[in-house]
Chain A
Amino acid sequence: MSDKVSPPGPREAVATGEPLLVAESLTKHFPVRGGFPVRRTVGAVQAVDGIDLTVRAGESFGLVGESGCGKSTTGRLLTRLLEPSAGRILYRGRDITHASRKQFAPVRSEIQMIFQDPYASLNPRQTVGRIVSGPMEINGIEPPGGREARVQELLETVGLNPEHYNRFPHEFSGGQRQRIGVARALALEPKVVVADEPVSALDVSIQAQVVNLLQRLQRELGIAFLFIAHDLAVVRHVSHRVAVMYLGRIVEVGTRDDIYGRPRHPYTHALLSAVPVLGDGASPRERIRLTGDVPSPIAPPSGCRFRTRCWKARDRCAVEAPPLARADGSAEGHLSACHFPEPPATADSGGAVRPGGRSGTAGQPGRG
Chain B
Amino acid sequence: MTAFLSVRDLSVRFSTEDGTVRAVDGLSFTLERGRTLGIVGESGSGKSVTNLAVLGLHDPRTTEIHGEIMLDGQELTGAPESVLEKLRGNKAAMVFQDSLTALSPYYTVGRQIAEPYRKHTGASRREARLRAVEMLRRVGIPQPELRVDDYPHQFSGGMRQRAMIAMALVCDPELLIADEPTTALDVTVQAQIIDLLQELQQETGAAIILITHDLGVVAGTVDDLLVMYAGRAVEQGPVREVLRAPRHPYTWGLLGSMPRLSGSVDEPLTPIPGTPPSLLAPPPGCPFHPRCGYVGAVDGGAGDRCRTERPGLPPGRGAACHLPEELQRSVFAEQIRPRLG
Contact = CB atoms under 8 A, between A and B. Distances in A.
Interface string B156-184: 11110000000000000000000000000
Contact of B257 (A207, A216, A280, A291): A207
Interface in A23-53: none
A205 B257 contact: yes
Interface in B64-99: none
B267 to A, nearest CB: 10
A361 B285 CA distance: 54
Interface in A289-310: 289-291, 293-294
A234 B216 contact: no
Given A175-B275, A208-B271, A274 B263 contact: no
Given A203-B43, A211-B269, A293-B159, A277 B257 contact: no
Given A173-B275, A236-B265, A277 B217 contact: no
A293 B191 CA distance: 12
A275 B261 contact: yes
Nearest to A295: B156
| Residue with the greatest number of chain B CB neighbours at <10 A, chosen from A204, A237, A280 | A204
B261 A277 contact: yes
Interface in A250-283: 256, 260, 270-272, 274-281
A352 interface: yes
Contacts of B43: 203
B259 A233 contact: yes
Contacts of A83: none
B32 interface: no
Contacts of B33: none
| Residue with the greatest number of chain B CB neighbours at <10 A, chosen from A203, A276, A289, A294 | A276
Contacts of A205: 42, 253-254, 257, 271-272
Contact of B191 (A67, A215, A274, A281): A274
A287 interface: yes
Contacts of A367: 140, 192, 195
B96 to A, nearest CB: 19
Interface of A: 66-67, 173, 175-176, 203-209, 211-212, 215-216, 230-234, 236-237, 256, 260, 270-272, 274-281, 287, 289-291, 293-294, 350-354, 367-368
8 contacts: A204-B213, A205-B254, A230-B186, A236-B261, A271-B187, A293-B157, A293-B159, A368-B140
Interface of B: 42-43, 140, 142, 156-159, 186-192, 194-195, 213-217, 219-221, 239-240, 243-244, 253-263, 265, 268-273, 275-276
